[in-house]
Amino acid sequence: MSGGYTPGMSEKGAAAQHAAGPSVTGRALAVLDSFDQTHRRQSLAAISRRTGLPLTTVHRLVHELERHGALARGADGDYEIGSKIWRLGTLASVHVELREVALPYMEDVYQLANDAVQIAVLDGLRILVVDRIAGSRSIEVLSKPGSRLPLHATGVGKVLLAFGGQELQDAVLGSLDRYTDSTITDAPTLKAQLLTIRSQGFAVTREELAPGATSVAVPLRGKGGTVIAALGVVSSSDNAEISRMVPVLQVTAAALSKKLAQSGLGEASRLR
Amino acid sequence: MSGGYTPGMSEKGAAAQHAAGPSVTGRALAVLDSFDQTHRRQSLAAISRRTGLPLTTVHRLVHELERHGALARGADGDYEIGSKIWRLGTLASVHVELREVALPYMEDVYQLANDAVQIAVLDGLRILVVDRIAGSRSIEVLSKPGSRLPLHATGVGKVLLAFGGQELQDAVLGSLDRYTDSTITDAPTLKAQLLTIRSQGFAVTREELAPGATSVAVPLRGKGGTVIAALGVVSSSDNAEISRMVPVLQVTAAALSKKLAQSGLGEASRLR
DNA sequence: CAAGAACTTCCATCTCATGGAAGTTTCGCA
DNA sequence: TGCGAAACTTCCATGAGATGGAAGTTCTTG
């Protein structure tokens, strides 16, 4: 009432669990954000637990979101992301323009490589897999569209890192998680590799993220020559010929880059 | 104001511009919803105009949404859907599970048909294009992933309609928009065709949505045999052999349906 | 069949969204 | 190059709408 209400910067020390801020919008997005690759369908209570929001609040929000098609309720009562969100996501231009333009070229690569072909952009300190093509029996890869994978242990990631800003490299080189025996966790080693990648124009990984998977990748450039994405092939490790794909990727990348520049891509991919 | 607010079924006649309801969540979603295929990037003022919300309100909401990555600001200051939304959309199971499972099969069809291959589900009274494969030079089709197209003028649409509920058919047959000279706008005619489609298991359209485009489509079934999606090929009209694709589609659909049933698809696709 | 968990409804309290007004920046045009 | 208009941003008094504890209902599980 009449009394207090100090603007902001008061708490912070206390709970401060979910940095959602007190706004309704923030809370609604926190609810949506509680869904991820391993929590695609959640019960009300689960959402409440994961967001730290009181059950009643979640209940209200979730129902409102459902009414608008942002969430959908599965047959078992669990909730999942609704088609409205999917449709909207379809409009995210970096990804969609990229995807629209790139898919046909990825097809071409796929025909030659017969291994999983993927394309990714930078998203914070990880790669965001924008799209991927894989035959009915390509090796089981971790990357699905929407996956966020580490920069230093994937082919596309190394490319984006090598051509990324100093600021980005510093942040990533600061902490290199290990995924397999072959993961490069030594900053100087990686740094040297990045230089090579820059000069030779492609990157290679050998079982650095998952055992049995090898990949090569090349950069994609937009307007003005800025690297805005990376194109790569992931194959099973026993395929010694994977480096054979480099020229194919490079030719494709050249053609694709021209197209991308035309369709106006070229900003994007900033480190948030 | 102070007065009324009868629960539901009141307005409809009057303005009723944006049936957003007074909730914050509703308003935030209205902002997001103001983005569509033809309005992928919008200025603050444009959003305000299109949603009917006061500029100040939009200003606040948009900034909040941007802070959370739900919107992104392009280089020119315009806003667009952000990668957070895209990533979330990636989790929408009907579409993603569907897409994940179906893409390889679509590949196979594409190799044989060499024409645009698409897959769609029901979304209200339209189809929602879930995915599409097209070579670098397939005919320019209207369907991109995320497009919502009419049920009675597309191959996939007719399939979904033919296998849809009575309620759905009634609603659609009630108003059949015309797109070309060949569009079927006579309810009895269409009704007869739907029966044929049900019995023979595939649908054909000839220039009913856009001149020069022909398509064939077959149903995809999930757990329990319910039709949950449709698979189709779109080709240029002078391709007399398009019906040659029917067996291919049917074989593929059979295999795909089995897979879909396995991965638990089978609810979804209800008429909201 | 009982106990606990998940979900829903209710409602008094007060926080936070609201949107008009006014100030600042950007843009288009002469 | 300068002026008017449009786009954007900041401010803040007000009250609409969000909040969440409590209690009731329905589903699970042992």
- Closest chain B C-alpha to A178 CA, distance in angstroms: 25
The answer to whether A102 CB sits below 7 Å from nucleic acid chain D is no
A210-221 pLDDT tens trace = 998 999 999 999
Residue B63 binned pLDDT confidence (cut-offs 50, 70, 90) = very high
Contact between residue A160 and residue A151 where contact means Cβ atoms under 8 Å apart: yes
CB contact under 8 A, B28 and A32: no
Q: What is the separation, in whole angstroms, between the first and last Cα of chain B?
A: 30
A92-262 falls under which CATH superfamily? GAF domain (3.30.450.40)
Alpha-carbon distance of A32 to B208, in angstroms, equals 39
What integer is the mean pLDDT of B256-261?
A: 91
Equal CATH topology for B24-88 and B93-262: no
Which class for A225: exposed (0-12), middle (13-18), buried (19 or more C-beta within 10 A)? Answer: exposed
Q: Which fold has domain A24-88?
A: Arc Repressor Mutant, subunit A (1.10.10)
Distance B91 CA to C11 C1' (A): 36
When pLDDT is cut at 50, 70 and 90, the band that residue B28 belongs to is very high
Find and list the nucleotides of strand C having atoms within 7 Å of a protein beta carbon.
5-10, 14-21, 27
The structural domains of chain A, with segments of one domain joined by +, span: 24-88, 92-262
pLDDT digits (tens, 9 = 90+) for B187-221: 999 999 999 999 999 999 999 999 989 999 999 99
Contacts of A240 (CB under 8 A, 6+ apart): none
pLDDT value of residue A96: 74
pLDDT by residue (tens digit) across A126-153?
Answer: 999 998 888 665 666 678 888 889 999 9
Identify the helix (H) or strand (E) that includes residue A162: helix A155-162
Is CATH 3.30.450.40 correct for B93-262?
yes
Which pLDDT belongs to residue B264?
64
For chain A, 272 residues long, the average pLDDT of each consecutive 10-residue run is 31 37 90 92 95 95 94 89 93 80 90 91 91 72 84 97 94 95 96 97 95 94 90 84 90 94 59 32
